[in-house]
Amino acid sequence: MARPLRVIQWATGGVGTAAIRGVVEHPDLELVGAWVHSPDKQGRDVGELAGIAPIGVAATGSVEEILAADADAVIYTPLLPDPDQVAALLRSGKNVITPVGWFYPREKEAAPLRAAALAGGVTLHGTGIAPGGFSDKFLLQLSALSTAVTFVRGEEFSDLRSYQAPDVLRHVMGFGGTPENALTGMMAKLLDGGFIQAISMVVDAMGFAAEPRIRSSQQVAVATAAIDSPIGVIEPGQVAARRFVWEALVDGEPVVRVGVNWLMGEEHLEPAWNFGPQGQRYEVEVRGNPDFTACIKGFHGEIGPGGELGEETGIVGTAAHCVNSVPAVCAADPGIVSYLDLPLVSGKAAPELRR
């Protein structure tokens, strides 16, 4: 029997702690280390940080210790990516799987990281849920059920009242501020990188003769009355919903569209946006022969009638996609690989149901 692949977790936020639990549950993987930013996490058992039983692995804040460690792969999940960090991990001989970028990078961005991967004899792979899932991989897979396709769409509809990251919501995503600040803030640029890569992958795989430039747009909705949220009360006139759209065009008409709809609930918004009867979901639409729409639910933290919050399962899904990709990425040729280069990746049976 082959030995388990040795995995290090980089960063232990929401996705990182879910990834730790996923690695521990995976029959072909072994968690051997974790890098943490906060001093109060350093030296603590990684299992404890992830809310499970201790596993005998201590977290470290030392990058040098991580680079020197004997490991096959790093699941890299910081809030913001650092190409220099990723290059160092690759040169140290560790495959890198990440949900924060490099899904289908352009050559200028790819070249230095490909060189680092080749120097280390390893592979870099970007994955996730959106981008990295419903905006590209699953959009392509579902498009196989139609011929003569004229249009595909992948869209997210999420209630962010369940997203317990107030600093990110306010200072990165622009909620609770003015429309002007939100529309000129960093969020659109941060999202552009991943979603433009996702659309480019779909265009290339499906063979659309699309224009080189991806068209993007964004809108905001403001509160018309006080709205309770993870950042406190959003007052009238402050940003309470955001919408982003990216489109690939042929002769000026969209052939691939990816959208993100983030709302702080469906009440007291101007414009009066809502999720429609389907509620929170990811949605994939294909127009061809035949036309169809697929609605995927279960990846959102639902808000209970008393305001209680459900688990943010989209974070767990993002982590699971990273964890389940580790064996395929470790087996791939060195360099940068996308979904177009990898075999089918699946989940694994629960321990009590395995052969």
For residue range 27-47, list pLDDT tens digits in order.
Answer: 999 999 999 999 999 999 999
Average pLDDT score over residue span 297-323 = 86
Tokens of 108: 């200028």
215 pairs with which residues across the strands? 247
pLDDT at 1: 58
More confident residue, 355 or 30: 30
Strands (E), 179-297: 215-223, 227-229, 232-234, 239-250, 253-263, 269-270, 281-289, 292-296
Q: Considering the domain boundaries, does residue 305 fall inside one?
A: no
The Cα–Cα gap between 123 and 109 comes to: 15
Tokens of 149: 């396709």
292 pairs with which residues across the strands? 286
87 and 151 inside one domain: no
277 and 142 inside one domain: yes
Are the CB atoms for 155 and 283 separated by under 8 Å? yes
Give the domain CATH number at 320: 3.40.50.720
144 and 284 inside one domain: yes
Pairing of strands 281-289, 73-76: unpaired
- pLDDT at 166 > cutoff 80: yes
Q: What is the mean pLDDT of the chain?
A: 95
Tokens of 138: 């699953």
For the chain, how many structural domains are there in total? 2
- End residue of a domain, out of 256, 271, 298: 298
Instruction: Assign 6 a pLDDT band (cuts: 50, 70, 90).
Output: very high
Average pLDDT score over residue span 185-210 = 96
Tokens of 139: 């959009």
Q: Considering the domain boundaries, does residue 181 fall inside one?
A: yes
- Residue 126: which of 193, 213, 46, 36 has the closest Cα? 193
* Region of residue 35 (left: phi > 0; alpha: psi -120 to 50; beta: else): beta
325 and 247 inside one domain: no
Average pLDDT score over residue span 103-118 = 97
The Cα–Cα gap between 11 and 33 comes to: 11
Phi and psi of 114, rounded to 5°? -65, -40
pLDDT at 163: 87
pLDDT at 173: 95
* CB-based burial label for 115 (10 Å; 0-12, 13-18, 19+): middle
- End residue of a domain, out of 298, 327, 342: 298
32 and 154 inside one domain: no
156 and 239 inside one domain: yes
Average pLDDT score over residue span 221-234 = 96
Q: Considering the domain boundaries, does residue 307 fall inside one?
A: no
143 and 285 inside one domain: yes
95 and 158 inside one domain: no
Q: Considering the domain boundaries, does residue 304 fall inside one?
A: no
- pLDDT at 165 > cutoff 90: no
Helix (H, G, I), strand (E, B) or coil at 211: coil
* Number of other residues whose CB lies within 10 A of the CB of residue 280: 20
Average pLDDT score over residue span 232-261 = 98
Q: How many residues are there in the chain?
A: 355
Average pLDDT score over residue span 192-213 = 97
48 and 169 inside one domain: no
160 and 203 inside one domain: yes
Could you give the residue ranges of the DSSP H alpha helices within the chain? 14-25, 46-49, 63-68, 83-91, 107-120, 137-143, 166-167, 179-184, 187-206, 313-331
Are the CB atoms for 340 and 200 separated by under 8 Å? no
Q: Considering the domain boundaries, does residue 248 fall inside one?
A: yes
152 and 204 inside one domain: yes
Q: Considering the domain boundaries, does residue 144 fall inside one?
A: yes
Q: Considering the domain boundaries, does residue 14 fall inside one?
A: yes
Domain holding 164, by residue range, is 137-298
Please give the radius of gyration of the chain, using alpha carbons only, rounded to the nearest integer: 21
Q: Considering the domain boundaries, does residue 50 fall inside one?
A: yes
More confident residue, 307 or 232: 232
* Number of other residues whose CB lies within 10 A of the CB of residue 26: 21
Instruction: Give the range among 6-10, 79-83, 188-192, 301-305 with minimum mean pLDDT.
Output: 301-305
Helix (H, G, I), strand (E, B) or coil at 39: helix
Percent of the chain with pLDDT over 90: 94
Average pLDDT score over residue span 254-282 = 97
For CA atoms 297, 302, 304, 305, the dihedral sign is negative
Instruction: Assign 214 a pLDDT band (cuts: 50, 70, 90).
Output: very high
